[in-house]
Structure 1
Amino acid sequence: MLSFLLLLLVTTTASQLVAVGEGGNDTNGVNMKKCLDKERNALLLFKAPLQHPDDCLSTWRVDEHDCCKWSGVMCSTQTGHVTELYISGCSFVGEISHSLLNLTYLNILDLSYNSFHGTIPTFIGSLTELSYLDLSYNSFNGTIPRSIGSLRELRRLDLSFNSLYGTIPPEFGNLTNLQELHLDSVGRCRVEKVEWLSHLSRLEDLRMDGISLASANHWVDAILSLPKLTHLSLGGCELSQVMYPYSSFLNSSSSSSSISDLSLQNNNLTSSMYRWLLPLTSNSLQILDLSGNMLDGIPKYLGNICSLVSLDFSDNSAIIKFPDFLTNLSGCTSLTLADLIAYGSQFTGSLSNEIQKFSSLGYLDLSDNHLSGSISEKLWELPMLVILDLSFNNLIVPSTYHLSSLSYGKDIHLRSCKMLGPRFPKWIQTLKNLYRLDLSNTGISDTIPLEFWDMWPSQLIYLNLSSNNISGKLPDLLSNFATYSVIDLSSNSFNGQIPKLSSALATLDLSRNKFSGGISFICQIVDGWLEFIDLSHNSFIGQLPDCLWHFKDLKVLNLGHNNLFGRLPPSIGSLIQLQVLYLYKNNFSGELPLSLKNCTSLISLNLGANKFYDNVPVWIGENLSGLYFLLLRSNKFFGTIPLQLCQLSNLQILDMSMNNLHGSIPSCLSNLTSMVQQGGFSQDVQYSTKYLQGSYVDNAMIEWQGDEREFSRTLKLVKSIDLSSNNLTGQIPYQITNLFNLIALNLSKNELSGEIPPKIGEMINLEILDLSRNSFSGRIPSRMSHMSFLNYLDLSYNNFSGRIPTSTQLQSFQPSRYNGNAHLCGPPLTKKCPGDEESESPPIIGKSEGDGEDIDDELERWFYIGGGMGFVTGFWIACGVLLFNRRGRHAFFQFYDSFKDWVYVKVVVFIANLQ
């Protein structure tokens, strides 16, 4: 009865607070106290300097006098004082105003998930009534103010995910009422002394991930002194560098722990840490994270923690025999363990029958290890197993199993395992409640039984059968898949036309098959969630249907390498979320639809190898400002290169080769700042489908070192300009030499003239330079001898003259790279430059073959030859060793290059004298 009355009292109080927040009236309609003018003005002053794009504070208006009605503001129903302030996730930018000091009764302050910057103000320590302070997920920098230690009523403090640095203030030990302390991922903070932790006797949740504890001796003792601590997370705290993590507790029977959730990931710990881990792992431990270390196994005492439910052992770098690992874990833990996560470690051996002891196991992830042998049938007999991931091992999957039919869904991931026999596994059809299935790259060479597609009506979420040799036709796929599902059948031998598809799909990948017919089937996918469609590398024919307005969420559309033709439909402009449009190698023609400029989210636009006939649209530069990759090669574009393309500051690849462009090269290409700065596209093009693992990696065909080459995972590292095979005239603008991080520049097969800009040698990262088949003249700039990374050069068929500058690179290319320049001379060409010829010495008369002087001359000649060869050999041995020293290699590189050139010249002159 007492508990019921307490519950009623709490519920009534909460209702009154909500009423105050919404309208300022209690449940009986009686007016509550309005907020005080002083506090109302304080809130307006707090809001004034902030940038708030989401307009979360739209209710904070000057004409609304009762601030207790404002969003995120809670007031006392009796006094009208502001007691709680929730402004989370509003993307605010700015600093915290001192006006908050006027909220003297503030009990809760939550400013998390914004972009507040500057230092955490010291005046926060004056808000002495605070019991809850959350400043996490912002951009605060500087040191953590000591004044926070004055907040004696504080029960929860969260400063995580900021850019703070320095030492954690020992004044935190004054927060004796603290129950939660979250300091994880705050930047470059460290703890030098841990005595203050022992004063936080009420602490239940401590998270300090990313804070260095390298100097914090006896931290284990401090943790053990916290009697109520249940959650401890010390990931990435440099624990392996702590000299003495404990003092004498190992000999103390009173040392015990109440921790139920312990995380020690990413600390480079070795198995020697288990001696101090033992006191932290009592029978209250339920979750243990040891991932990202260098552990070579686990001790048997971990297998006797009868409360352990989850163990994360992933990404450990020591080689471990998996059967031994299971043996040490198979005490009473085997009866309670529900999650065993150990992907990306160094497990070897087989999946032994020991696995059958783990009767509670529901989630088993052993992917990306070195397991071998046949998968034990005992694994499939585990009654609770729901999620199984054995991908990327050397395991063999038997063709038959005796599987239990569970009443709940099952996920099976066997990617890159090998099926025993090439037939499609029949045991799959015994799983009546399958949700996710990944059998990609498993060596299946067969057709799929028709009954397979009828097994799971409206429940499949993820199906990946890619990279096999599965053939045959697809049936209608209308009722098999759940909402927001994924189908990946790429890289097989499916053929025929595409049947009816479900509108529930989010991802459809049918690329690299033998499908044919039209693609009007995509018009059937209406009112759905389609985000990704890849039909590339098939034999589809026909036009792209004008029904694309259905796909407002589409992020990737890849139709490359087919036989599609006709104009692009106007509805393509409806794809306002589109990031990747890949139409390479089809027969599309006509002008680009103006509506395409609405696709302002585009990152990659690849229209190459088609028959588009148009001026290069200026709106590409004006509207598609987010482009990283623009490929228009091998079309019928004409006119000049629009200056507006220079506005694409993120552009890393510009390929307009093999068109009918004329005019000059815009000097403003130097504004492509992504080709000037270090780094570039920092991540793969992402498209978020809930159940797809990984991200879409864009690809492109690029002319590279004279050949067409497909780039995929390394595409984001390429920085290239290709304007070859057009009708461009004029000179190379000198401004283009400011693109210091350009890797490839191809201007070949144009009508360009003039001299190469002298500063081209400053483009030190250039690996490919093709200026062939133009009308360039003058000397090859001497500074090109400094282009140490140049590994492809073609200057043939121009009007260059003079000596080829001497350097390691320029003499290493075939003479054909300089052909067609009648007035060029010097190595590697056989044509000598004026002054290289020297008069031959007259023969010495009166010397016989047996004269000692003649023998001495011969010995001297061989001495120099042998000395030169020895020098060169020793030099290259030294350089070979240096190649394995990254730091030394870069420091030594310039000296190495110039010295090697000197040796080369001396050897050439020496051999010429011998001859």
Structure 2
Amino acid sequence: MNLCVFIIISILLLLTTTTASQLVAGGEEGGDDRNGANMNKCLEKERLALLLFKAPLYDRRGILASWRADNHDCCKWRGVTCSNQTGHVTGLDISHFDLGGEISHTFLNLTCLNHLDLSYNSLLNGTIPRSIGSLTRLRHLGLSDNSFYGTIPPEFGNLTNLQYLNLGSVGRYRVENIEWLSHLSHLEWLRMDGISLAKQNYWVDVILSLRNLSYLSLEGCELSKIIYPYSLFLNSSFSSVESLYLGDNNLTSSMYRWLLPLTSNKLRFLYLSSNMLDGIPKYLGNLCSLETLYFNNNSAVVKFPDFLNNLSGCTSHTLQLLYAIGSQFTESVSDEIQKFSSLKSLDLSHNHLNGSISEKLWELPRLQTLDVSFNNLRVPSTYHLSSLSYLHFIDMRSCKLLGPRFPKWIQTFKRLTRLDISNAGISDTTPLGFWDMWPYQLDYLNLSSNNINGKVPDLLSNFAKYSAIDLSSNNFYGPITNVSSTLLSLNLSKNNFSGGIAFICQIFDGLLFLDLSDNSFIGQLPDCLWHFKRLKVLNLRHNNLFGRLPPSVGSMTELEVLYLSKNNFYGELPLSLKNCTSLKSLNLGANKFSGNVPLWIGENLSGLYVLILKSNNFFGTIPLQLCQLSNLQILDLSMNNLHGIIPSCLGNLTSMVQQEFLQGVEFYKTSVNYSYEIETYVDHAIIQWQGDEREFFSTLKLLKSIDLSSNDLTGNIPYEITNLYDLIALNLSKNKLSGEIPSTIGEMNNLLTLDLSRNSFSGRIPSSMSHMSLLNYLDLSFNNLSGRIPFSTQLQSFNPSRYDGNTGLCGLPLPKNCPVDEKSKVPPPAGKSEGDEEDIDEVQRWFYIGGGMGFATGFWIACGALLLNRHGRHFFCFFYFLFYDSFKD
């Protein structure tokens, strides 16, 4: 709303104040005196106050569209509640409206307001308005998750009717004096997450004075910095708190002395995650109402049997949910677990547990979900178990000692709906009857990354609606005949499946993820892809599929990843593919596609960051439209029949200039308790890297590469290409390029690999290349280059074969001396005098210095040097993940 409208509404508000006040007074004194015509309309003064309140707000999503001057009944505006008796505005709830801007003080004219919630917006007003403290009728106040800063106004102590107060994550806030809180005697619900209480040594006493408080959340409040007097709590009574959140405070076990008064037998929920606790005290085992305990991400080492022992008082009979994800638990899941007879959910994933899982665990009568993934637990393949009636979720991912036999005890759990035993060292066939033993239907099955073999008879009848199946990286074989029509995710990659893929036509439009790669599927891609309007990832690479792509491929408008490489598809790309405007990664390499590289790739697929068309039969020139792909990080058009020049506009590929990296593709993997679990898809692709093909996984998003090799390109290298400062790999080999190498090529000082071999380049090697200090692969062989090879640590370190076929070249590392070498010493590098230090890259220097102390020491010293400079951080990350991928392979 512009300034003029704001002023007009302000004047109208002033003109109507007296009349509105009289109407209000009349209504309050004589009851509801409004006639029938006005029964559904709000008071004019309050309507104008709301319009003024809206004026400085930025409504990004148009949620306040009903707040208009020509809409006279504000009681029907979104987020507004009025009294049925008086017409006064009693509630204003605009939480989660994604509003920006400032808070106007005109809400003070809403004198009957008892509910005000501005949470989860981006409101900025400096400090929280002190004037809120004058709204003494408020029972509900929510200001959380905004962008305020400063201190909490002590005037909030005037809000003595408050029952609900949410100040969590309001911004950069602190409390100078918490005394005002003790005046809110009716308070039942309090959240102050992220607000510093570091100076409030007596805050526990203040909380204990709130006799009606049942919910308290103080996450990230710097409680570890508080110094508690020894006299504290001597005369205090126990609190009424039922739910207590104290996570992310760097608390050590010394905190338990002041936690004691806040815990009573009313406490049902306790959240102690993200601290530094080395266990729990025995008194927590005597909380006879405690039902839920969160102990995630605590950094101190804890023996799990000791942890259970300290909880084994009356708490062991009431505790239902125990979550200790990502802590430092050691030793085994011992027999003490049998004492927890009410336990329904146990999550000990991502710890350091070892030894065995006690059989007593399986005897817990109410256990429903169990997650012990990413530990080193020993799980026998056989257990002597009776059928458990409640257990429906088991996750034992990466429990390496689960195998090698397939755990037959799984068939004991007839109510299982979720099972994950991936990467568990199993080398066996699936037990007889495994695929039809699920009377309650599975909604999640993950057997991936084992060595399981056998046929898969049916993926139809035993899977629930919106289920997910992952059988990847095993030795399953044979055809797939039936699949569930409502699958959310299906991953059959890296097996030996065969036959056609017509079964995908049985799946309808709920599918989000489909990966059939690295199998022996054969036949054509069926023309039923219009089913997949929500599909995010389609990977069919490395099979024996053939034929033309069907027109229905263009129906997948939400598709972000399309991999069809290493098949036998042929023909031109269908025009309908341009409708897949959400594509980020397109890999059609190693097929028999033909025709021109389509112009619409650059015009319509603007979000692409990977484009791989290598090893096909594309001909014609490189279209200028590809230069419009500003997000492009990987361009591979190698091994085709392209001719003409390299477009100079490739130097405008923005993402190859800036040190920014795109994130992976996110999709919803499976439903969990009626919500969805988000999965990030790790792109992978085979790239020509330093003379060999290499498959990149985690590092792909860090790689920035152009490969135009093995074509019939002519002309010069455009100097604009050298503007791609963040490019890591450039391969122009095996073309018919000519002219001189651009003198500015040395400005591409982030290049790790450069291949210009087997062309017709002439002239000297540019002296600027001596500054390419990160270059570790160079091939200039079989050109017409001449003159001295510039002096630098890199250029002299390469094998002489990288300069073969250039008869006019001389100087190290070639055995051929330049004429000047026979008469005098080698001249200093270009741009340096004899008195300058050697032109050795800083990182290499640290390698040399560290070399005297051993390779490992030198490596880490060099890493330190990398991390200290802007470019170094980029390459440290890249090399780290490169080595990670190597070990992964």
How far the C-alpha of 1:198 sits from its partner, in A, is: 3.4
Q: Any idea what SS the aligned residue of 2:670 has?
A: coil
Per-residue deviation, 1:517: 0.9
CA shift, 1:411, in A, is 0.5
Higher deviation after alignment, 677-686 or 655-664:
677-686
Q: 1:763 to 1:160 in 2, by over 3 A?
A: farther
Q: How has the CA–CA distance of structure 1 residues 424 and 179 changed in structure 2, closer, same or farther, with 3 Å as cutoff?
A: same
| 2:529 matches 1:529 | no
Deviations 1:41-67 (A, max 9, x none): 666677789776765456667776545
1:590 and 1:613 in contact (8 A); partners too:
yes
Aligned counterpart, 1:816: 801
**Contact persistence 2:468–2:669 (CA under 8 A):** no
* 1:146–1:172 contact (8 Å) kept in structure 2: no
Residues 127-146 of structure 1 correspond to what in structure 2 (within 5 A)?
Answer: 127-141=110-124, 143-146=126-129
Partner amino acid for 2:173?
C
Partner of 2:257: 275
Deviation larger for 756-765 or 454-463: 756-765
Alignment equivalent of 1:152, drawn from 121, 136, 140: 136
Question: Structure 2: where are the runs of 5+ without partners?
Answer: 1-34, 826-844, 873-889
TM-score norm. by structure 2 comes to 0.85
Cα distance per residue 1:178-201 (max 9 Å; x no partner): 333323334433344434433433
Residue identity matched to 1:560: R
Q: 2:522 aligns with which of 541, 555, 560?
A: 541
Task: Provide the C-alpha distance between the structure 2 equivalents of 1:733 and 1:892, rounded to a whole number of angstroms.
Answer: 29
1:362 to 1:233, Cα distance in 2 relative to 1, 3 A: same
2:575 aligns with 594
1 CA distance for matches of 2:740 and 2:159?
73
Q: What does 1:67-216 align with in structure 2 at a 5 Å threshold?
A: 67-81=74-88, 83=89, 107-121=90-104, 123-124=106-107, 127-141=110-124, 143-147=126-130, 148-216=132-200
Hey, what's the Cα distance between the residues in 2 that align with 1:759 and 1:44? 60
Q: Contact between 1:403 and 1:430, CA under 8 Å: does it hold in 2? A: yes
Shift of 1:134: 2.2
Counterparts of 1:757-776 in structure 2 under 5 Å? 757-776=742-761
Q: Find out whether 1:505 has 2:490 as its counterpart.
A: no
Distance 1:571 1:199, change over 3 A: same
TM-score by length of 1: 0.82
Instruction: Tell me the residue number matched to 2:437.
Output: 455
The structural deviation recorded for 1:373 is 1.9
1:690–1:314 CA distance, 2 compared to 1 (3 A) = same
Q: Secondary structure at the match of 2:557?
A: coil
Report the Cα distance in structure 2 between the residues aligned to 1:239 and 1:471, rounded to whole angstroms. Answer: 54
Question: What SS does structure 2 have at the residue aligned with 1:540?
Answer: strand
Which of 494, 499, 508 lines up with 1:517 in the alignment? 499
Using the alignment, how far apart are the partners of 1:607 and 1:734 within structure 2? 29
Shift in CA distance, 162/887, structure 1 to aligned 2, threshold 3 Å? farther
1:128 CA drift (Å): 4.8
The equivalent residue for 1:489 is 471
| CA–CA distance in structure 2, aligned partners of residues 40 and 893 of structure 1 | 55
- Aligned partners of 1:405, 1:709: CA distance in 2, in Å? 49
Structure 1 residues 187 and 764: CA distance shift in structure 2, 3 A: farther
AA aligned opposite 1:237? C
The residue aligned with 2:458 is 476
Distance 1:759 1:184, change over 3 A: farther
2:425 to 426, 433, 443: 443
Residue pair 1:289, 1:311 contacting (<8 A) in 2 also: yes
The SS at the match of 1:614 is strand
In structure 2, how many angstroms separate the alpha carbons of the residues matched to 1:206 and 1:59? 32
In terms of mean alpha carbon deviation, does 409-418 or 829-838 score higher?
Answer: 829-838
Q: Paired residue for 2:362, among 351, 376, 380?
A: 380
- Give CA-to-partner distance per residue, 1:151-196, whole Å, 9 cap, x none: 3333333233333334444444443333333233344333444344
Q: 1:639 aligns with which of 602, 620, 630?
A: 620
Q: 1:315 to 1:217 in 2, by over 3 A?
A: same
Write the distance in 2 (CA, Å) between the matches of 1:806 and 1:894: 23
AA matched with 2:759: N
Q: Which residue does 2:300 correspond to in 1? A: 318
| Unpaired segments ≥5 residues, structure 1 | 1-27, 84-106, 841-868, 896-915
Q: Distance in 2 between matches of 1:569 and 1:894?
A: 45
Match of 1:795 in 2: 780
| 2:184 counterpart letter in structure 1 | L
Q: Report the alpha carbon displacement of residue 832 of structure 1 after superposing the two structures with TM.
A: 3.0
Do the aligned partners of 1:263 and 1:289 also contact (CA within 8 Å) in 2? Answer: yes
How far apart in 1 are the matches of 2:437 and 2:315? 36
Q: Which of 321, 327, 332 is matched with 1:339 structurally? A: 321
Mapped to 2, the partners of 1:489 and 1:30 lie a distance apart of 67
**In the alignment, is the contact (CA less than 8 A) between 1:391 and 1:414 conserved in 2?**
yes
**Aligned equivalents of 2:79, 2:129: Cα separation in 1:** 28
Equivalent residues of 2:501, 2:525 under 8 A apart: yes
1:32 correspondence with 2:32: no
**Correspondence for 2:693 among 708, 715, 718:** 708
Map of 1:651-662 to 2, 5 A cutoff? 651-662=632-643
Residue matched to 1:16 = none
Per-residue displacement from partner, 1:519-555 (whole Å, max 9, x unpaired)? 11111224x5222111111001110011111222222
- The alpha-carbon distance between structure 1 residues 825 and 361, as it changes in their structure 2 partners (threshold 3 A), is same
Tell me by how many angstroms 1:347 deviates. Answer: 1.4
Q: Following the alignment from structure 1 to structure 2, what is the Cα–Cα distance between the partners of residues 124 and 555?
A: 45
Tell me the distance in 1 between the aligned counterparts of 2:44 and 2:106: 21
One-letter code of the match for 1:675?
A: M
1:450 touches 1:475 (CA, 8 Å); kept in 2? no
Distance 1:707 1:179, change over 3 A: farther
Note the alpha carbon deviations across 1:451-507, whole angstroms, 9 max, x for none.
222222452111111122222212133211111011111111111111211113111
Question: Aligned to 2:681, what secondary structure does the other structure show?
Answer: coil
Deviations 1:324-383 (A, max 9, x none): 111112121111111111122221111110000011111011112221222211000000
For 2:801 and 2:816, how far apart are their aligned partners in 1? Answer: 13
Say if 2:600 is the partner of 1:616. Answer: no
Letter in 2 for 1:607: L
Query: Does the residue aligned with 1:811 lie in a helix, a strand or coil?
Result: helix
Counterpart in 2 of 1:690?
Answer: 671
Residues 642/170 of structure 1: CA separation in 2 closer, same or farther (3 Å cut): farther
Counterpart amino acid of residue 453 in structure 1: W
Deviation at 1:76, TM superposition (A): 4.0
Query: In the alignment, residue 517 of structure 2 is paired with which amino acid?
Result: S
**Which shows bigger deviation, 595-604 or 66-75?**
66-75
For the structure 1 residues 593 and 358, does the alpha-carbon distance in structure 2 shift closer, same or farther, using more than 3 Å as the test? same
| 1:837 aligned to which of 814, 822, 838 | 822
Residue 647 of structure 1 aligns to which amino acid in structure 2?
A: Q
Letter in 1 for 2:709: S
1 CA distance for matches of 2:198 and 2:812? 58
SS of the equivalent of 1:835 reads helix
Cα displacement (A) at 1:576:
1.6
**Matches of 2:336 and 2:487, distance apart in 1:** 40
CA RMSD of aligned residues (A): 3.2
Residues 611-669 of structure 1 deviation map (CA, whole Å, 9 limit, x = unaligned)? 11021111112211222221111111122222222222222222211112222222322
Q: Select which of 382, 401, 419 maps to 1:400.
A: 382
Equivalent in 357, 372, 382 of residue 339 of structure 2: 357
Q: Any conservation in 1 of the 2:59–2:100 contact (CA below 8 Å)?
A: no
How far apart in 1 are the matches of 2:187 and 2:359? Answer: 46
Q: 1:623 to 1:38 in 2, by over 3 A?
A: farther
2: CA distance, partners of 1:752 / 1:49: 60
Looking at structure 2, the residues matched to 871 and 620 of structure 1 have their Cα atoms a distance apart, in angstroms, of 44
- Give the superposition deviation at 1:293: 2.0
- Find the aligned partners of 1:871 and 1:76 in 2 and give their Cα distance: 76
Q: 1:43 to 1:181 in 2, by over 3 A?
A: closer
Q: How far did residue 29 of structure 1 move?
A: 9.6
Look up the match of 1:804. Answer: 789
- 1:33 and 1:79 in contact (8 A); partners too: no
Q: Does the 8 Å CA contact 1:800/1:821 hold for their aligned counterparts?
A: yes
Aligned to 1:99: none
Deviations 1:276-309 (A, max 9, x none): 2222222222211222222222221222222211
